[in-house]
Structure 1
Amino acid sequence: MIKLHDLEFEPYISEEEIMMAIEEISVKLNKDFGHKRPVFLGVLNGSFMFASEIIKRFSGDCEISFVKMGSYEGTETTGEVKTLLGLNQELKGRQVILLEDIVDTGNTLVEIDKILKKAEVEDYKVVTLFYKPEAYKKNIPIQYIGMEIPNKFIVGFGLDYDGLGRNLTQVYKRK
């Protein structure tokens, strides 16, 4: 059991389970993109640990860039996604692999979809470590999913509650 700010969380997904999911995604990404030179685009702050693990396992040439989006206050989404740090790299005509820590409402994906279309990328694929199918109501396809989970609030492995918990190596759910 851990306490972050005013909330208690209990262990939910072990570090071993997370690493197994990352390994499975990595095998598929190497098969599909190992012969290309994709740009991995991590969505900060949450995806930094996931992005690091994926990049370490990618066997081909690649580049990495980040965007920072924000839509949460506490444990609730505001429904409004703001771009806090935009693209700083030319992506026109490039293959992009979008790395998300979690896909729940899909609001962030909609905003990133607009950004990538405006940037005129050749194509992009969505990779997420965690996916909440009961919360996802958008029509942007998600090609690589580490784990499907119920619509519960989780922290750890990059995910936070008001800034705390990102450094945890396993995932905890709200008690």
Structure 2
Amino acid sequence: MAVEIYISEDQLKNKITELAYKINEDFAGQELVVICVLNGAFMFCADLLREITLPVTMEFIKASSYISGTESSGTIKFEVDLKTNLAGKNVLIIEDIVDTGLTITKIMEKLKSHGPSKVKLASLLFKPSRNIHPVKIDYLGFEIQDKFVIGYGLDYDGRFRELPYVGIFDED
């Protein structure tokens, strides 16, 4: 198994600072409910929150379309649900990667049914070549090729989340 650095630690830090600036500007003077999509977005979420200067209520949701390995199962399973009332609130979803778009589409449908004022999406990564469920990414880190990536919260069978960069995973 080999890992090639795809997005460096410095590139991640610079992009997160840029995204946080836009979020702070767009929601100036307002409160945010930030919803971190577990497990993969936890590092991106933590680093982004350190740069956000707004009052934040933190929530977590867990929805998965990956059984194991590198392929999506095509169905969504919610394992952790929300406790905060979202009615009339500004919601920012923080996601690690938008691949086919199925998972985030289902999450957004679920959240919008709670009547928030706004729902915005921040995603660290986006694979346009795999996207079949179009979704608007309001704050995008990086558009990437159709490679299986790990690190910075992203995993392969539960491993490699701790890497401080995004790497391309090669099983060989």
**Aligning the two structures, in what range does the TM-score lie when normalised by the shorter sequence?**
over 0.9
1:50 aligns with 2:44: yes
AA aligned opposite 1:151: D
Match of 2:26 in 1: 32
Question: Contact 1:40/1:63 (CA < 8 Å) preserved in 2?
Answer: yes
AA aligned opposite 2:81: G
- 1:62-99 CA-to-partner distances (Å, cap 9, x unmatched) read 11111011111211111111101111111111110010
Match for 2:87 among 79, 92, 107? 92
Match of 2:72 in 1: 77
Structure 1 window deviating more from structure 2 (152-161 vs 125-134): it is 125-134
Structure 1 window deviating more from structure 2 (130-139 vs 151-160): it is 130-139
Q: Unaligned regions of 5+ residues in structure 2, if any?
A: none
Question: Contact 1:34/1:61 (CA < 8 Å) preserved in 2?
Answer: no
Structure 1 window deviating more from structure 2 (154-163 vs 34-43): it is 34-43
Give the paired residue count: 169
Question: Contact 1:67/1:85 (CA < 8 Å) preserved in 2?
Answer: yes
Match for 1:145 among 140, 143, 149? 140
1:58 positional shift = 0.7
- Root mean square deviation, CA, Å: 1.1
Cα distance in 2 between the residues matched to 1:60 and 1:89: 18
SS of equivalent to 2:133:
coil
Match for 1:23 among 11, 17, 23? 17
Question: Contact 2:112/2:119 (CA < 8 Å) preserved in 1?
Answer: no
Name the TM-score, length of structure 2 as normaliser: 0.94
* Seq. identity, %: 38
Runs of 4+ with >6 A deviation: none
1:165 aligns with 2:160: yes
AA aligned opposite 1:156: G
Name the TM-score, length of structure 1 as normaliser: 0.93
Question: Contact 2:33/2:89 (CA < 8 Å) preserved in 1?
Answer: yes
1:114 aligns with 2:109: yes
